[in-house]
Amino acid sequence: MVSEDEIRKQICEIGKRMYDRNMVAANDGNISVKISDNEILCTPTGVSKGFLSPGDLCKVDTKGNVIQTNSGRMPSSEMKMHLRVYEERPDVKAVVHAHPVYATTFAVANIPLSQPIMPETVINFGCVPIAKYGRPSTMEIPDAVSEFVSYFDAVLLEKHGALTYSDSLEAAYMKMESVEFYAQLLYQSKLLGVPRELTPGQMEELYELRRQSGMQGRHPANLGEPADACRFHCANCGRKCEKGD
Ligand code: 13P
């Protein structure tokens, strides 16, 4: 089992990777890791994620009560959003929130990442929906995110940024990198003209590949057969997410 000290170091390293890749400006973004049934380590509020020390991190319980802090640090102002993800997804052990430039550009334009333009993005995400705008640090964001948490491992936050989560911190962070790559690719292919999309049939083949590979996490491919997959099945939903249904 990985020790708490080791997880504290990992959080600082991932914070630096986010900062070095321009996924967070100034003090933006936050990271948390669930270390036991009732204990969560998280980044403090108002501190650059590029220069964290293990002792800067805060520990809270699953209700958000502070268990431990140092040097007057307080937990991230977005912990309500993180806690909602842990509450609704018992499989999740780490949550990452950032403001990567391309993903946030789509969030600002209110355009979900739903165009199937590349096999890896289809296999990784199917699509990345947008949770409705909410004021930072309020319950409005967790309430908006809740609609998608059970079905996806990555969500854009309207006018704000991106949220990813997984069964390990490394995996949650990798999803953030992949969301940003998808957004940059979509943005740049739009500049060249209308991106050529994979067909619904090709998407189905990729969904089948994902199912056969046994990949962890939530994805439209695992919602069931297309007939009962309803609005979240991007291969046949007619882009209802883009129309706001
Ligand atoms: P915190 O510093 O409180 O974690 O907030 C940063 C942020 O990005 C809010 O969306």
Average pLDDT, the chain: 92
Best-predicted range by mean pLDDT among 49-53, 204-208, 227-231?
49-53
Query: 177 CB under 6 A from ligand 1?
Result: no
- Report the range of poorest mean pLDDT among 90-99, 105-114, 214-223: 214-223
The pLDDT, as a whole number, for residue 37 is 98
**pLDDT category, 237, cuts 50, 70, 90?**
low
Tell me which residue has tokens 């630096």: 16
User: From the alpha carbon of 47, which atom of ligand 1 is closest?
Assistant: 2
% of the chain beyond a pLDDT of 70: 91
**pLDDT category, 220, cuts 50, 70, 90?**
confident
Condensed to tens digits (0 to 9), the pLDDT of residues 77-102 reads 999 999 999 999 999 999 999 999 99
The pLDDT, as a whole number, for residue 232 is 53
Residues carrying an active site annotation: 78
Condensed to tens digits (0 to 9), the pLDDT of residues 11-42 reads 999 999 999 999 999 999 999 999 999 999 99
Query: 164 CB under 6 A from ligand 1?
Result: no
Whether residue 225 is predicted with pLDDT greater than 70 in this model: the reply is no
CA of 40 to the centre of ligand 1 (A): 17
Mean pLDDT over 180-205 rounds to: 94
Query: 200 CB under 6 A from ligand 1?
Result: no
The more confident residue out of 2 and 232 is 2
The pLDDT, as a whole number, for residue 200 is 87
% of the chain beyond a pLDDT of 90: 85
**pLDDT category, 221, cuts 50, 70, 90?**
confident
CA of 141 to the centre of ligand 1 (A): 13
The pLDDT, as a whole number, for residue 223 is 76
The pLDDT, as a whole number, for residue 224 is 61
Query: 48 CB under 6 A from ligand 1?
Result: no
pTM of structure: 0.94
Whether residue 244 is predicted with pLDDT greater than 60 in this model: the reply is no
Mean pLDDT over 65-85 rounds to: 97
